[in-house]
Amino acid sequence: MAFAVRYAWSKGLLERERQTIATLRSLNLVDPPGLTRLMREMRRQHVQLGDLLVRAGALDHRTLKAALDLFWIQGERLGAFLVDRKLVSAEAVEQALSGQAGPPFNLLGLAVDLGLLGESEAARIELPALT
């Protein structure tokens, strides 16, 4: 979850999802435990690049952890960081990225699927336009 806090919730990335969560919270449509479930399910559906590389056998977990410690300091994209340091091939990163589900997420639809929100409630919610 630290990755989501440091990277995915940064300004710009996943902005629509942040607005959806804020709207659900401000209208008291989903309680705090429900919001936690919703964010965990979104996180579960979006498998991180490092995890995909480990699953594919392109990188072991220990090497990934060590690389992530340095990665946070450098501030570049993880795939480029790993390839530049010859920890994985560019092909392995491309293959992992091709299978990665990413934003935008339909959080209202996900909330309905999880039983946190009714379909009629979700249909009435108007999200502000992205600026």
Q: Domain boundaries in the chain?
A: 1-46+104-131, 48-100
Predicted local distance difference test score (pLDDT) of residue 85: 93
Cβ-based neighbours of 108, under 8 Å, separated by 6 or more: 20, 117, 122, 125
Q: Is the pTM of this model over 0.85?
A: no
Each residue's pLDDT expressed in tens, for the chain with a length of 131 residues = 344 434 444 455 567 888 888 889 999 999 999 999 998 888 777 778 898 899 999 999 999 999 888 887 776 788 999 999 999 999 999 998 887 766 667 888 989 999 999 999 888 887 766 55
CA distance from start to end of the chain: 27
Closest to 16 (Cα-Cα) out of 102, 76, 87 = 102
Predicted local distance difference test score (pLDDT) of residue 99: 72
Predicted local distance difference test score (pLDDT) of residue 64: 92
Q: Please answer whether residues 117 and 108 qualify as being in contact, where contact means their C-beta atoms are separated by less than 8 angstroms.
A: yes
Predicted local distance difference test score (pLDDT) of residue 82: 94
